[in-house]
């Protein structure tokens, strides 16, 4: 789902590319940072990931996010490096914002090719481990959950099929884990970790206010933007797309409650340029965070209204009365599963709020 009121883009080329669903060319984002757009397999979702090359104080490159694993994307990373005088083997570290294949996808391959260590948040590594560990029992747990949600018997098989397909998780182990507030081991830069659970349990944002940065390019100011620094937001905050919630396996907290907290935490970096994981770079982080929070809370209100019109309703009955963009009667398999999961998440959030 997208929003009509879009925040101002920092790059016209990226804005156009996003509208036409084609990966934009690599761009200099100032401050020793450049973009690398990495296409995803064709589908209804976002068409490309925005990864970033960041030069450290010694002039060596670090990569933030890796994109979908494909030979074409590996070449794109190589070309973006070469355009700035680097080779693949110069890559000094790889920071991954979250566990989804459009961000973590090429990390293992790049690490193997370059020896560069991969960094993840500690919470995200725990999510990967939990997903891998619980995969063998997913179908059984999906059956139990469907029962608890009041799913009619004839709709249960399609949910079990979804669980069966999803139960193939590739294990991954990061070389270093970062916690909230940590400064990343990137020489000459003060790149700080802000862990923002919601989209996944350990989604990582990175704040670089450029104060102590000595990276090449234009340290202390971003070309053209006049910004005082940058914040890499992964999929936590995108300029027009609303990222899904709780998409990283079992979450220690309600994903919506966590997301609302994380939005207010990252909104305080409103003065910085926003470098998201998809679409285009933009300004106006606080406005965008407020809009995302309102979007999710509207859905909570809708779920509350549906719940209150029914006596002792099940999750399935409530979901059937909520407005979904494909139309409830058209929702099958994964889409149905995701609608039920969201409804359950909103109900739990409402309960946490004593509503």
Q: Helices marked H in 150-276 — which ranges? A: 156-166, 255-267
CB atoms closer than 10 angstroms to residue 295: 12
The 8-class DSSP code of residue 9 comes to B
Alpha-carbon span 32 to 216, nearest angstrom: 5
Nearer to Zn ion, 62 or 236 (CB): 236
By the rule CB under 5 A, 102 interacts with Zn ion: yes
Which segment (74-82, 98-106, 219-227, 260-268) binds Zn ion by CB under 5 A? 98-106
By the rule CB under 5 A, 65 interacts with Zn ion: no
Nearer to Zn ion, 98 or 307 (CB): 98
Min dist. Cβ of residue 118 to Zn ion (A): 17
By the rule CB under 5 A, 279 interacts with Zn ion: no
Applying CB under 5 A, what is the total number of residues that bind Zn ion?
3
Phi/psi for 174 (5° steps) reads -70, 160
Min dist. Cβ of residue 199 to Zn ion (A): 8
- Specify whether the backbone of 169 is left (phi greater than 0), alpha (psi in -120 to 50) or beta: beta
Min dist. Cβ of residue 255 to Zn ion (A): 16
Q: Strands 273-276 and 204-208, how do they pair?
A: unpaired
Nearer to Zn ion, 213 or 240 (CB): 240
By the rule CB under 5 A, 124 interacts with Zn ion: no
Nearer to Zn ion, 120 or 222 (CB): 120
Alpha-carbon span 347 to 303, nearest angstrom: 7
User: In 3-state terms, what secondary structure has residue 329?
Assistant: helix
Which segment (232-240, 250-258, 289-297, 325-333) binds Zn ion by CB under 5 A? 232-240
Q: Which residues contact 59 (CB under 8 A, 6 or more apart)?
A: 216
By the rule CB under 5 A, 235 interacts with Zn ion: yes
Nearer to Zn ion, 114 or 233 (CB): 233
User: In 3-state terms, what secondary structure has residue 252?
Assistant: coil
Q: Which residues bind Zn ion (CB under 5 A)?
A: 102, 235, 277
């Amino acid at each position: 789902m997208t929003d009509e009121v879009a925040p101002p883009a920092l790059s016209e080329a990226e804005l156009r590319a996003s509208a036409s669903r084609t990966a934009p060319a690599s761009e200099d984002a100032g401050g020793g940072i450049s973009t690398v757009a990495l296409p995803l397999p064709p589908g209804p979702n976002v068409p490309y990931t925005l990864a970033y090359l960041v030069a450290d104080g010694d002039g060596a490159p670090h990569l933030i996010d890796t994109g979908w694993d494909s030979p074409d994307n590996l070449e794109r990373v190589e070309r973006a490096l070469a355009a700035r005088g680097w080779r693949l083997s110069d890559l000094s570290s790889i920071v991954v914002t979250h566990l989804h294949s459009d961000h973590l996808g090429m990390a293992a391959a790049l690490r193997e090719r370059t020896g560069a260590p991969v960094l993840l948040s500690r919470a995200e590594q725990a999510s990967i481990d939990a997903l891998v560990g619980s995969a063998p029992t997913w179908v059984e747990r999906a059956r139990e959950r469907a029962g608890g949600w009041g799913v009619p018997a004839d709709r249960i098989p399609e949910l079990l099929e979804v669980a069966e397909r999803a139960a193939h998780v590739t294990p991954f182990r990061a070389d270093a884990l970062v916690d909230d507030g940590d400064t990343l081991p990137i020489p000459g830069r003060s790149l700080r970790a802000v862990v923002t659970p919601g989209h996944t349990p350990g989604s990582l944002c990175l704040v670089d206010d450029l104060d102590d940065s000595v990276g090449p390019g234009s340290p202390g100011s971003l070309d053209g933007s006049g910004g005082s620094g940058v914040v890499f937001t992964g999929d936590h905050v995108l300029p027009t797309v609303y990222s899904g919630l709780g998409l990283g396996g079992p979450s220690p907290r309600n994903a919506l409650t966590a997301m609302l907290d994380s939005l207010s935490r990252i909104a305080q970096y409103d003065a910085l340029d926003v470098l998201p994981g998809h679409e285009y770079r933009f300004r106006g982080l606080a406005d965008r965070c407020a809009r995302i929070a309102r979007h999710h809370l509207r859905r909570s209100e809708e779920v509350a209204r549906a719940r209150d019109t029914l006596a002792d309703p099940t999750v399935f009955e409530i979901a059937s009365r909520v407005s979904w963009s494909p139309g409830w009667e058209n929702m099958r398999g994964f889409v149905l599963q995701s609608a039920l999961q969201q409804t359950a998440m909103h109900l739990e959030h409402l309960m946490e709020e004593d509503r």
